[in-house]
């Protein structure tokens, strides 16, 4: 819609660009007019993307024809004239064009807060919340009407932090249940599994890792040190917490210290280091031979978008899989952010990148403010493989049964995220499965798709800050599935890519490459046969899954609804 004119200039509002407030945030004042601000503008595509399900939905990996990055950029990048128009807009408003990536459809602008306010027709204020300090806009962002439909999204005006992963505190959770090779064997990774010539991208929002932890970890497994490198996104560096802070965090985990005895900032920094290190160690150990690329980005909506976009468009090897262990309730994100991140996830699928996203650790209610279940985004995107969590019950390194992860941790209930999207419709590949109605009625995308070990009582041994501790949460499941995809791609000599629809097709067939999880609940939904809103289709039987992906089904399969 057209916004009121500024002088002789008619402006157009950008849909979905109002601030999504956090419950409990407090206003502290106006943003300093001289503060330096950098924003990312996402422009329209040269041409629309083909419908993803019809392109890849029920095709086996060997039958898929993924676009190259070059071909994708030519067909779906920004229009040259649109870039010229944005440059003119920047000049007229005293903004600097910092970078242009036409293949990513992005233009980065920099300038003062005062200039940004005039350019986008908004005010800017500073807020405080338990997540931290951040900037937000007042009013709805707009652009001159000649940029109507040219500029689709502006990221960076708001710096509202994304939801943090909940802490895992519980006595004895530091005692691991098994090692990575034992877990690999229990889940059916082939004895000589490897992911040679594959690349796995890990999306991390802040934090970092210590090289010496990785050296010690892989030495303990008698595995060669993998190829690991980190990439800065928007200037963020590899900044792991010091070993003494990690020890304080682990002291809380073990019950040697009370939560109140360790400063909040120390706990946050240490946990971030634990989680980044866990992602690296699990992905690299489960996919030997793979290159691990760690994208370290700001903990903001702009940071997540830029990290995923960079991972699938940067020079060098295109990742076979991305692992994302971050997210927050759909009800708490802006419409513009949700749309643009879902688009870049769709881009990844078109290029043959499997995006594995953790479904969250706070159960079905997931911190809901309206008393109804809510799922996390980006786990709810239909373009990702959404990864829920299980509790493993086993003996001598073998799984005897699995249940939906749901346990009490220092009085805090942690459980696998799962439920039904309030935003996304039921995708075609879930149509033959029983997905419960949305909380307010109607049908939606069911979350998660699959599961893996998330219970810290039955976690996998990792090394952080020089100490051996246990993996935990659905943030340990996403790198497991990313590693599985890397091994499958290496074995099949092709890209699995958008594998989610295929998993639903295989679950309905005779191969049975997933172990159904029928016990337990996540605080609202109950596990059960087929698909369920706690653990999806179940956990992987890796060797069986790779074999099922290798052999196309019968010729009539394309006529079946999946």
DSSP states along 102-142:
GGGTEEEEEEEHHHHHHHHT-EEEEEEETTEEEEEEES--E
Residue recorded with tokens 């870039």: 83
Q: How far apart are CA 137 and CA 19, in angstroms?
A: 6
Angle at 302 between CA 103 and CA 333, to 5 degrees: 120
Tokens encoding 494 = 């092709």
Q: What is the DSSP letter of 521?
A: B
Cα(454)–Cα(387) distance, rounded to whole angstroms?
A: 10
Q: Would you please indicate which residues are annotated as catalytic (active-site) residues? A: 275, 279, 475
Query: How many DSSP H helices and E strands does the chain contain?
Result: 13, 28
Residue 503 is classified by DSSP as H
Measured from the Cβ of residue 539, the count of other Cβ atoms closer than 10 Å reads: 27
Number of Cβ within a 10 Å radius of residue 148: 15
Instruction: Indicate the SS3 state at residue 5.
Output: strand
Q: Are 51 and 345 in contact, with CB atoms under 8 Å apart?
A: no
Gap between the Cα atoms of 352 and 495, Å rounded: 6
Q: What pairing do the DSSP bridges indicate for beta strands 354-358 and 385-395?
A: parallel
Q: Are 408 and 359 in contact (CB under 8 A)?
A: no
With a CB cutoff of 8 Å and minimum separation 6, the contacts of 402 are: 390, 391, 392, 393, 451, 515, 517, 519, 535, 538, 539
Comparing CA positions, the residue from 111, 321, 40 lying closest to residue 199 is 321
- Cα distance between residue 56 and residue 501, in whole Å: 8
Neighbours of 144 (CB within 10 A): 21
The DSSP line for 233-265 is STT----PPPHHHHHHHHHHHHTSS-GGGS-HH
The DSSP H or E segment spanning 82 is helix 80-92
CA angle 150, 154, 160 (to 5 degrees): 165
- Of 555, 325, 327, the residue nearest 423 (C-alpha): 327
Consecutive H or E run containing 216? helix 211-220
| CA 433, chain centre distance (Å) | 24
Q: What is the DSSP string of 445-501?
A: -EE-SEEEE--GGG-BEEEETTEEEE--SGGGHHHHHHHHHHHHHHHHTS---S-HH
């Amino acid at each position: 819609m057209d916004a009121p004119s500024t002088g002789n200039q008619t402006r157009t509002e950008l849909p979905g660009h109002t601030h999504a407030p956090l419950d409990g945030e407090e206003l502290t004042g106006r943003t300093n007019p001289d503060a330096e601000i950098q924003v990312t503008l996402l422009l329209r595509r040269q041409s629309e993307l083909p419908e993803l399900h019809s392109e890849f939905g029920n095709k086996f990996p060997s039958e898929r024809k993924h676009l190259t990055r070059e071909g994708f950029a030519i067909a779906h990048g920004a229009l040259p004239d649109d870039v010229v128009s944005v440059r003119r807009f920047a000049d007229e408003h005293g903004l600097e064009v910092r970078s242009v990536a036409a293949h990513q459809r992005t233009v980065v602008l920099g300038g003062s807060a005062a200039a940004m306010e005039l350019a986008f027709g908004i005010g800017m204020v500073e807020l405080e919340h338990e997540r931290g300090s951040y900037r937000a806009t007042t009013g709805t962002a707009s652009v001159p009407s000649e940029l109507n439909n040219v500029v689709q999204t502006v990221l960076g005006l708001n710096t509202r932090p994304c939801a943090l992963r909940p802490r895992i505190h519980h006595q004895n959770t530091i005692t691991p249940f098994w090692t990575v090779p034992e877990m690999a064997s229990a889940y059916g990774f082939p004895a000589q599994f490897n992911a040679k010539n594959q690349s796995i991208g890990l999306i991390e929002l802040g934090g970092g890792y210590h090289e010496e932890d990785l050296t010690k970890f892989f030495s303990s497994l008698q595995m060669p040190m993998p190829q690991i490198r980190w990439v800065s996104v928007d200037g963020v560096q590899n900044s792991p917490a010091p070993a003494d802070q990690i020890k304080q965090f682990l002291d809380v985990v073990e019950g040697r210290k009370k939560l109140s005895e360790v400063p909040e900032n120390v706990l946050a920094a240490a946990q971030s280091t634990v989680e980044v290190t866990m992602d690296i160690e699990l992905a690299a150990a489960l996919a030997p031979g793979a290159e691990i690329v760690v994208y370290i980005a700001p903990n903001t909506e702009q940071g997540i978008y830029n990290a995923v976009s960079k991972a699938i468009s940067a020079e060098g090897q295109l990742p076979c899989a991305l692992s994302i262990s971050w997210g927050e309730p759909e009800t708490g994100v802006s419409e513009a952010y949700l749309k643009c991140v879902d688009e870049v996830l769709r881009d990844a699928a078109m290029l043959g990148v499997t995006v594995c996203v953790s479904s969250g650790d706070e159960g079905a209610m997931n911190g809901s403010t309206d008393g109804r279940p809510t799922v996390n985004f980006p786990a709810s995107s239909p373009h990702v493989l959404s990864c829920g969590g299980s509790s493993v019950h086993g003996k001598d390194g073998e799984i005897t049964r699995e249940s939906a992860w749901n346990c009490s941790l220092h009085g805090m209930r942690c459980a696998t995220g799962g439920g039904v999207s309030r935003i996304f419709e039921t995708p075609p590949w879930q149509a033959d499965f029983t997905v419960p109605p949305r909380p307010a009625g109607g049908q939606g995308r069911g979350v998660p798709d699959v599961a893996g070990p998330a219970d810290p009582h039955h976690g996998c041994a990792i090394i952080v800050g020089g100490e051996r501790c246990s993996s935990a949460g659905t943030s340990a499941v996403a790198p497991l599935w990313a590693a599985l995809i890397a091994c499958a791609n290496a074995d099949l000599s092709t890209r699995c890519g958008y594998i989610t629809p295929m998993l639903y097709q295989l679950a309905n067939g005779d191969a049975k490459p997933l172990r159904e999880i029928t016990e337990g609940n996540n605080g609202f939904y109950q596990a059960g046969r087929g698909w369920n809103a706690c653990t999806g289709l179940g956990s992987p039987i890796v060797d069986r899954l790779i074999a099922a992906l290798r052999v196309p089904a019968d010729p009539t399969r394309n006529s079946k609804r999946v």
